[in-house]
Amino acid sequence: MRLCFVAFALVLSACGTTQAEPRTAAGPIAAFDADIARGESVVSEIGAMAGRDRLLREIIMRGFRTEMTGEERQAYIEGTRHHFDRIDGENSARLRVIIREIGWAELNALSPHAADQARTLISHSSDIAFKREMAATFEPLVRAGRMEGDYYAMLIDDIATMENRAQVYGTNFECHHGVYQPKPIEAVETLAARRAEIGLVPIEEYAARMREMYGECPADYSGN
């Protein structure tokens, strides 16, 4: 019995002194390094594009907030259009390449902030094919409650407007003789329900925001 006890004690001692395999952080560190290498330049590039986009729109809105006649407003829009064509065009072309290379899900996983900036850039694109691609990507996310509906609604309405069709959600407005009003909307009687379905504010509140952003609409003007 004594021998058995000693033997048992030796077994316990051996078990207690066995060195466990050292844990290593190489796996997580390698994954971290790969994510940084893959994402840093993309996030930086999208941030730079978003900065140009914001600068352009802040400056033009500053002009809209000054008092203008209808003729002056039209001249202001026409005289600044080439900057929008250039900056929005360059941003759109490059962003489309980035998203095709890494995918929307990957971009959002790398940086939700960069993905939010990208949504703004997409909404300002004049590339209807690009807008269609991204609207198709966003729709299931919006329906599942995984993305806010505003950018999706803007894409759907932009596509409709570009194709000379009535809007679905009423996100595109125009200045019409002193009043900001939405461009034509399909089935106006169910508009409120459609907007509420994807989390949009009532259209009256949206119109008020337009006045805050773009200033007063001249009484002698009708257009964008």
| Across 3-12, 71-80, 107-116, 134-143, least confident range | 3-12
- Judged against a pLDDT cut of 70, whether residue 38 lies above it is answered with yes
pLDDT digits (tens, 9 = 90+) for 84-99: 999 999 999 999 999 9
Mean pLDDT for the stretch of residues 34-45: 84
Quick check: is 25 in a domain?
no
Quick check: is 11 in a domain?
no
pLDDT digits (tens, 9 = 90+) for 16-25: 445 555 555 6
- Judged against a pLDDT cut of 60, whether residue 3 lies above it is answered with no
Quick check: is 38 in a domain?
no
Cα–Cα distance list, 148 to 33, 153, 167, 182, 201 (Å): 31, 10, 19, 21, 12
Quick check: is 194 in a domain?
yes
- Return the DSSP state at 174: E
Quick check: is 53 in a domain?
yes
Distance in angstroms between the alpha carbons of the first and the last residue of the chain: 99
| Number of domains present in the structure of the chain | 1
Quick check: is 80 in a domain?
yes
**C-beta atoms surrounding 88 within 10 Å:** 20
Q: In which domain, by residue range, is 165 found? A: 46-223
Quick check: is 55 in a domain?
yes
Provide the phi-psi class of 187: left if phi over 0, else alpha when psi is between -120 and 50, else beta: left
The DSSP element (H or E) to which 222 belongs, if any, is strand 222-223
Are the beta carbons of 121 and 84 closer than 8 angstroms?
Answer: no
pLDDT digits (tens, 9 = 90+) for 113-138: 999 999 999 999 999 999 999 999 99
Quick check: is 91 in a domain?
yes
